Structure 1
Amino acid sequence: MANTTSAKKATRKIARRTEVNKARRSRMRTFLRKVEEAIASGDKSAAAEALKAAQPEIMRAAQKGVVHKNTASRKVSRLAHRVSTLAS
């Protein structure tokens, strides 16, 4: 357990950041799931709309440090490829 005042404050700050990051990660995963479900249903227009909504959310998570920038780019790229090959 933290003993010094600064260590106790750091613990509180970490707990607050953890809550915020959990919320951001959960929000990003929700958007990812919506795209996945649209792809699974086979509806290209719905999948494209879901991807259009999910892309800024994924990149925002990367910008805020929840996921790495390359991870976010990779996820967007793979989803975009799956949506584009949906109809063909």
Structure 2
Amino acid sequence: MANHKSALKRNRQAAVRNARNSHIRSTMRTFVKQVRTAVATGDQAAANEALGRAVPYIDKAATKGIIHKATASRKISRLAKLVNGMA
């Protein structure tokens, strides 16, 4: 454990950021899973709706630096391809 005042503050800040980042990453994964589940069940309307919710959240994660922007772009592209391939 840190002993200096500045190091203690750094630990507190890191804990808060870690919790925030974990929440955003977990929520993003949940939205992606909802899209994949809707595609697996064959429900086109639900898949489109789930994709509409997932894309902005993936973009948000990239903006916040949780994931790299190229990773976000790849995830969105693959999900869109998956949903569009249902038709």
Q: If the length of structure 1 is used for normalisation, what is the TM-score?
A: 0.95
State, as a whole percentage, how many aligned pairs show the same letter.
53
Secondary structure at 1:45 match in 2: helix
In the alignment, which residue of structure 1 is the partner of 2:7? Answer: 7
Structure 2: unaligned runs, 5 residues or longer:
none
Structure 1: unaligned runs, 5 residues or longer:
none
Alignment of 1:30-69 (within 5 A): 30-69=30-69
CA offset at residue 46 of structure 1?
Answer: 1.2
Hey, what's the Cα distance between the residues in 2 that align with 1:16 and 1:52? 29
Moved over 2 A (4+): none
Kindly report the root-mean-square deviation, in angstroms, between the aligned alpha carbons of the 2 structures.
0.7
Matching of residue 74 in structure 1 with residue 63 in structure 2: no
Number of aligned residue pairs: give it. Answer: 87
Hey, what's the Cα distance between the residues in 2 that align with 1:28 and 1:52? 12
CA offset at residue 38 of structure 1?
Answer: 0.4
CA offset at residue 3 of structure 1?
Answer: 1.6
